């Protein structure tokens, strides 16, 4: 993960900037209803889970969908990882519900 973090935000002083991670923003209050998809083998799973908890704590309606056994980015690999189709359906349903 260190190599990814170094590539994503080369300057360590900027790694706590909210633009690098929404967990670092002062408030999430007022955001629209959110869908958080968690992949069981994602090294960012804990961050996603913490984001969902914080959204809920700040009054944002949040739905969490957990996909055990999936890796980071699985949604973009539907031909190889069929569970991605379930996640895509969840995303479509959340978007439909927002109208």
Pick from 66, 69, 75, 80: nearest CA to 41 = 69
Read off the pTM: 0.88
70 burial via Cβ count (<10 Å: 0-12, 13-18, 19+): buried
pLDDT at 99: 82
Pull the structure tokens for residue 58: 């700040």
pLDDT digits (tens, 9 = 90+) for 33-51: 999 999 999 999 999 999 9
> What ranges do the domains of the chain cover?
25-97
CA–CA dist 94, 34 (Å, integer):
8
Pull the structure tokens for residue 72: 């980071």
pLDDT at 1: 84
């Amino acid at each position: 993960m260190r190599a990814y973090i170094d590539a994503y935000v080369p300057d360590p002083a900027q790694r706590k900037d909210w633009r690098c991670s929404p967990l670092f923003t002062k408030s999430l209050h007022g955001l629209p209803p959110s869908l958080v998809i968690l992949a069981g083998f994602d090294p960012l799973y804990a961050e996603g889970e913490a984001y969902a908890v914080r959204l809920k704590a700040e009054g944002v309606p949040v739905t969490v969908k957990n996909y055990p056994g999936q890796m980071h980015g699985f949604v973009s690999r539907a031909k190889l990882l069929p569970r991605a189709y379930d996640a895509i359906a969840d995303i479509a349903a959340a978007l439909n519900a927002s109208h």
